[in-house]
Structures are given as structure tokens and as C-alpha cells.
Amino acid sequence: MHIERLPRFPLAQLPTPVERLPRLSRELGGPELLIKRDDQTGLAMGGNKTRKLEFLVGDALGQGADTLVTVGAAQSNHCRQTAAAAAKAGLDCELILNGTKPDLPTGNLLLNHLFGAREHWIERPQRAAKLRELSEQLRARRRKPYVIGVGGSNGVGATGYVVAMIELMEQLRAGGHHVDHIVFGTSSGGTQAGIELGARITGFNGKLHGLSIDKNEPEYLEYEGEVAQIANECAAYIGSELRLSKAEINVVYGYMGEGYAVVGELEREAIRLMARSEGIVLDPVYAGRAFGALMDLIRKGAFKRGETVLFWHTGGAPALFAYARDLL
């Protein structure tokens, strides 16, 4: 493995803390809960994309790029963090966002504006064509675009979560913690791919649970294959001999509620409970849904008493401010 020799642009405050959640563990009456605070990665109000972007921006700079181009939902955390990373690295940033520009940009959109990113609003089916067109236009203007796919989820980006898993294992060892389960939200797959690969590299012997944020199993059986493919691209990138098959990837479905980014009682209860018992802010789309799913699994007895479950908080809190009406 040659992770230390890969191009990497420093963006994150690492290591992020691992904390106990004693009041919440008592409240839920199940396993002991720990939290890994990747909402505290530092860049632009934190989140999981900071870790991926360290490697993606490192690669972009190595290739001589001068513009980061990426895509996402209107309240995309990935786009907000890419815009901030571009600002810090002295690069331009072009964002292709789904939907129509609102009159008043709030949450992540306000931050994109402050970071100086240029936005292009499209309907979701036009995304691939717009990405091609924009890249061609930039090249015609002698710019050097570096295109980052949805969520920064490729072999380069996932490297950030291999490093994160190595970091976590060192923290668990130093803190004398034994963790039986690691639980996190999964959507474009890069976070899970890195954690899965990192778990095998470090010899983690507990169970990983990716809680699907935006897919229902019957529609989308191939997601596990996508995660394995990103993990394998990542293994090749970092020089590891390991390869994963889709059968080894554990994704938990059934928590999509009314759809992607639609806040329901599951997310509301999770956000309130975490805030009121531990003073920690979850987000309405990812960490709120993932923690709501974890609460449901605890209540259904999916974990044994005496086990320890680590919830990996992947950030996203700036989106809260665009969802005030759903959370009051």
C-alpha cells in the first residue's frame, strides 16, 4: 500500500473525536452507543466529503486542473464542501444542481454562494448532458476542469474513508473501546466503500451496516455491486491486493420513508432525541435518517445488550436551516 505517497490536499481537522453517548444509550435502553464525529471534519461546517476531497483535490492539483466541476441535489453537502475546498485550494468551482434556483438561497446554497461557486440549475435527467457541455465550454475557454462525480464516490475519493477507518481503529485501540457494530448512512457509496476496504485492511472484526438513504432494495439490488466496485477501484489506487465482492457488502433498506430528502417522523424524532440528550446536531437528509433507522433497529432488538454500536456521524447540518418548517 502506498496511501502516504498519494496526492493529498489538507482540508480536514483530524482525527475527528470518538465520543460516548451515555444519555442517549440509556434513553434507548439498548446497546452502548459511541459516535464518530465526522460532522467535525472542519472544512465549511464539516461532513464526510472533506475526507474524500482531500484526495480528489490532491489529484486535481496533480493533474494541473484549475476548476472543480461537480453535481448534486439543491441542498447537496458534497457541493457545499467542494465549493469550500476549491476556495481553499485557489481553484474555480462550477456546480450543476438539480431543480430550480430558489429566490432566497438558504442552508448549503447560501454557503455555495459565499464560497464563490458558479451554479447551473438543471432537471435531473439533463445532468450528464450538462456536465459534458460545461466541461467542453470550459476547455474551449482554456480552463482545465476536474470533474468530480456524484458525492465524490470513486476510488480516489473513497481513499479518504480508508484513512478514516485506520484513524478510527487507532482511536478505539488507544481508548480501550471494543466496537461490535459500525452504522452509517450510505447513498452514493464512496463512504461505505472506503469503510469496507479500511475494515479489511485494519482487521476490524465487528459488523458494518450501511443504512440506505435513498434506495429501496427491490428497485436497486445492484447498489452493493457499485459499492464493491468503488472499493476495488480504491484498492487498486492505494496499492492494496484486497478485492471485495458485492455479497460482502451489507446494506440495510427500508428507511426511505416518503423519498429522498423528505423529512418524516423518523428523522424528526432522531434529530430531536440526539439534540436533547447529547447536544449534537444531525441533519435532515442523511445522518438524521440514518440515526432514525438505527433507533428503529435498536427497538426491534437487532443488537444484543452488552454490545457496543458506533454511529458514524457523516455531517450535513447546514441543510437543517433549509428544513426549518419540517422540524418545528
What is the set of active-site residues?
76
Tell me if 112 contacts ligand PLP by CB under 6 A.
no
Residue 235 CB, nearest distance to ligand PLP (Å)? 17
* C-alpha 60, offset from chain centre: 20
Site for ligand PLP in 186-215 (CB under 6 A): 186-192
User: Closer to ligand PLP at the Cβ: 186 or 240?
Assistant: 186
Which residues make Cβ contacts (< 8 Å) with residue 140, sequence separation at least 6?
none
- Angle among Cα 130, 136, 140 to the nearest 5 degrees reads 145
Name the residue among 128, 146, 232 with its Cα closest to residue 189: 232
| Alpha-carbon 209 to chain mean position | 14
Q: Phi-psi category of 6—alpha, beta or left, where left has phi over 0 and alpha has psi -120 to 50?
A: beta
Single residue of 30, 31, 145, 151 touching ligand PLP by CB under 6 A:
151
CB 286 within 8 A of CB 11: no
Q: Give the range of 62-70, 87-95, 128-136, 281-289 binding ligand PLP by CB under 6 A.
A: 281-289
- 272: CB partners within 8 A, 6+ apart: none
Give least dist CB 175 to ligand PLP, A.
24
Phi and psi, residue 313, nearest 5°: -75, 115
Q: Of 155 and 315, which CB lies nearer to ligand PLP in the complex structure? A: 315
**27/220 with CB nearer ligand PLP:** 220
The stretch near ligand PLP (CB under 6 A) out of 18-26, 100-108, 113-121, 179-187 is 179-187
284 binds ligand PLP (CB under 6 A): no
CB 200, min distance to ligand PLP, A: 18
Give the per-residue contact string, 298-317, with ligand PLP (x = CB under 6 A; - = no): ----------------xxx-
Choice from 160, 283, 288, 318 touching ligand PLP (CB under 6 A): 283
Alpha-carbon span 287 to 205, nearest angstrom: 24
Residue nearest to ligand PLP (CB): 316
Grid cell 481553499 is found at 88
Per-residue x/- track, 39-78, ligand PLP (CB under 6 A):
--------xx----------------------------xx
User: In Å, how far are 12, 192, 194, 197, 258 from 164, measured between CA atoms?
Assistant: 11, 11, 8, 11, 32
Position 153 contacts ligand PLP (CB under 6 A) = yes
**HSE-CB for 48 with a 13 A CA cutoff:** 33
Judged by the rule CB under 6 A, the positions of this chain that interact with ligand PLP are 47-48, 77-78, 151, 153, 185-192, 283, 286-287, 314-316
